[in-house]
Amino acid sequence: MRVVVLENAEAVAQFAADFIVRQVNGKPNSVLGLATGSTPLGTYRKLIEAYQAGRVSFKSVTTFNLDEYYGLEPTHEQSYRRFMCESLFNHIDIDLAKTHVPLGSTLDVERETASYEQAIRGVGGIDLQLLGIGTDGHIAFNEPGSSLASRTRLKTLTRRTRQDNARFFGTIDGVPKMAITMGIGTIMESRELLLLACGEGKAEAIARSFEGPISSICPASVLQWHRQAIVVLDKGAARGLSQLEYYADCEANLKEVAKV
């Protein structure tokens, strides 16, 4: 696991965008796993800038989003389909037919979740998965206690998650109580993972996830098992880590090797 600590959220966004641009330029038909929420917004802005500058094209890229609120139509102002269109898809040359978000308004959850898994398998799996992290250590909507082998499914949201997201809905009562989410097992099958976190509010979750024991109570901790996981943090989110000097040494040595 690689831990990269940068000065601020702007630097985190730039690192992630540059990483994604390299992935797409190296493999134009890349399959990207995408996240929602406030954390990846800076990265999406940087990707739009890169596209507008002619540094990258997304016309052959396929995407799969991590999750969607259960019960929301794709056109709902707080749906993740709408979020992705407004934050990224509408501003780049991606084929919308190749962008996938779970259908929160489905009347057949079992069929929807099974078909989502099949769609991921059908394109050969996810090359690069972008992740955020909840204040309780959840990834996607895999809440504490989730099976570390779970697949795409319907999941009940904790009150803490709903409270964290209440700012988008006005009150906690407006936040859906359930969501369709990729499972932890699904996420772990991606070839590379890029987890972003910014701000001191994420510091405890980061420390528990990457310097604590692997446990379903802290779902992000399972990423310690991933072969190609990169954790990109600003100084606030890294505040609780005990091995900061070592992580800095690792990054310095990687840069030296790259020069050879």
User: What does the chain come to in residues?
Assistant: 260
Residue 259 has pLDDT above 80, yes or no: no
The CATH number corresponding to 2-259 among 3.40.50.1360, 1.10.1060.10, 3.40.190.10, 3.30.70.3000 equals 3.40.50.1360
| 211 catalytic per annotation | no
| 143 catalytic per annotation | yes
Is residue 9 within 8 Å of 198, Cβ to Cβ?
A: yes
Summarize the confidence of residues 134-159 as an average pLDDT: 97
One-letter identity of residue 151? R
| 86 catalytic per annotation | no
Residues contacting 202, CB < 8 A, separation 6+: 133, 135, 236, 237
| 136 catalytic per annotation | yes
Summarize the confidence of residues 169-182 as an average pLDDT: 96
Options 68, 112, 127, 143, the catalytic residue? 143
pLDDT per residue over 109-131, tens digit each?
Answer: 999 999 999 999 999 999 999 99
pLDDT per residue over 52-82, tens digit each?
Answer: 999 999 999 999 999 999 999 999 999 999 9
| pLDDT confidence of residue 207 | 98
Options 138, 164, 226, 234, the catalytic residue? 138
Residue 248 has pLDDT above 90, yes or no: yes
The answer, as to whether pTM is greater than 0.85, is yes
Residue 149 has pLDDT above 80, yes or no: yes
Give the residue carrying structure tokens 């406030």.
38
Residue 260 has pLDDT above 90, yes or no: no
pLDDT per residue over 223-241, tens digit each?
Answer: 999 999 999 999 999 999 9
The share of the chain scoring above pLDDT 90, in percent, equals: 97
pLDDT per residue over 19-58, tens digit each?
Answer: 999 999 999 999 999 999 999 999 999 999 999 999 999 9
How sure is the predictor about 147, in pLDDT bands with cuts at 50, 70 and 90?
A: very high
Using DSSP's 3-state secondary structure scheme, residue 153 falls into strand
**Domains of the chain, residue spans:** 2-259
Options 112, 127, 136, 164, the catalytic residue? 136
